A and B are shown apart, each in its own frame.
Chain A
């Protein structure tokens, strides 16, 4: 089975969030970038497990500029066979999806995995768009994934529980927590990653329809009102009369 895993870079979860150029750009000064956790911990690791069990290959794909290469190497160190980077600086999920689709269409892959969302844009959009563009089935927010006899068998988050679904290949699956366990790359993986192919391809025409006009930081939080541990009634009174949430 040929598997494609979408890998995105995201600022480390402890990064200070700030903006530059009139609040139009993320300030990456001093920011450490990581592989987006959903892509790494769940999508990539499950793809590797499927390959280990059934054979085939795992390729990663990233839409981004050369500053993505370190996180792509990390994905290769964890175990992907090769990587594709489409050289573009995308502003919108439709653009990302259409560039990936231009590479993934024509039956090149049986299965495409992506994380359920990135921790910077939190869109949860690329997978669904990709499925539509590739005319593939789509399992969103999957918490487990098997492929048996050409059929995807997965569980996914649904209203108030988990749903079991079956879908035909080719399929796009977005990975949520539960699908796999994080793998830490070992020294051999890190060494091997240096020489694995990372193919940079120019971006062709892409759809594009949205962009961020301006970022904004949330207003500073007011002081925390402290209540004595022996006076829970006082907290209840404040929640009811002051905060009006009871």
Chain B
């Protein structure tokens, strides 16, 4: 099976989400060719993750319609029966277009390997899983960030330049505003997350949350009311109507654990709940729990982690 992986890059290097997509295809048993667009240093690090070749489009494309044309043309040229991309902001815009262009069935945000024509994904915001079967010869799959890990140890991939017919752009990027100045990993891709809710009582108390997050090299998140009240920005809102995450470690302080909140976080590998109320529903979904005041527990926890090293 041949696979074309769309590889988002940053400063000439493959992004982690892109490498995960490549590793995923490799684990599915595919011979993987990656497509990179814009600046690229050597093979962008993709050979190590398992790609045998990189098709490089030198022109920097911003419109996903154009990127989709490039991906589709590359998939046809390589005779790929599988196209993969990360299920993040770019993948969500590119992959559906590619599926239409290739007449392919698409399975978004998978959490399992492609076995025959069936692949597993989360549905009902993480409350269930579905095994989706795809009838078409070509299949388009987007991979859930932080669900598969990145393979290493492969040889450097050959880089070939590629000049697809991408047509006119219908969209252009006119600006960018970073959401965090601290350079932490974006939430959907974060390996560790420290999250807090209404129990923190006001935005002025977030220092203890941020300190724990910094110490753990974690990203901060919050419950919905916290972002609705403007205590924290919208992009930190996790849950059924916010962002769905699956970090290795999720620490929730002062969050009750309502079903809509849990839906977005219950795929985390390990959950720690900190709450003054021993009956808080979060303790039913957590692996470790502390009944206590977040204002006391969080600083102590930060201290204990600092003492580790």
Tell me if A128 counts as interface (CB < 8 A to partner B): yes
B186 to A159, Cβ gap below 8 A? Answer: yes
Q: Inside 8 A of A155's CB, which chain B residues have their CB?
A: 177
A235 to B272, Cβ gap below 8 A? Answer: yes
Tell me if B240 counts as interface (CB < 8 A to partner A): yes
A94 to B99, Cβ gap below 8 A? Answer: yes
Tell me if A125 counts as interface (CB < 8 A to partner B): yes
Of the listed stretches B27-35, B146-154, B284-292, chain A binds: B284-292
Tell me if B104 counts as interface (CB < 8 A to partner A): yes
Tell me if A11 counts as interface (CB < 8 A to partner B): yes
Bound-complex Cα distance A143 to B242 (A): 12
A122 to B125, Cβ gap below 8 A? Answer: yes
B270 to A243, Cβ gap below 8 A? Answer: yes
Of the listed stretches A59-67, A198-206, A212-220, chain B binds: A212-220
B125 to A119, Cβ gap below 8 A? Answer: yes
Please list the residues of chain A having a beta carbon within 8 angstroms of any beta carbon in chain B: 11, 13-14, 17, 19, 37-38, 41, 92-94, 97, 119-129, 131-133, 136-141, 143, 155-168, 171, 177-178, 207-218, 221-222, 224-229, 232-233, 235-236, 238-240, 243, 245-246
A177 to B124, Cβ gap below 8 A? Answer: no
Tell me if B95 counts as interface (CB < 8 A to partner A): yes
Query: What is the size, in residues, of chain B's interface with A at 8 Å between Cβ atoms?
Result: 96
Sampled A-B contacts (8; CB under 8 Å):
A93-B96, A129-B106, A131-B97, A132-B68, A138-B93, A164-B174, A226-B291, A245-B270
Most A CB within 10 A of own CB, among B96, B123, B244, B283: B96
Give the nearest-CB partner of B127 in chain A. A17
Q: Which of B245-276 contact A (CB under 8 A)?
A: 248-249, 259-260, 263, 266, 269-270, 272-273
B89 to A226, Cβ gap below 8 A? Answer: no
CB distance from A99 to the nearest CB of B (A): 13
A232 to B304, Cβ gap below 8 A? Answer: yes
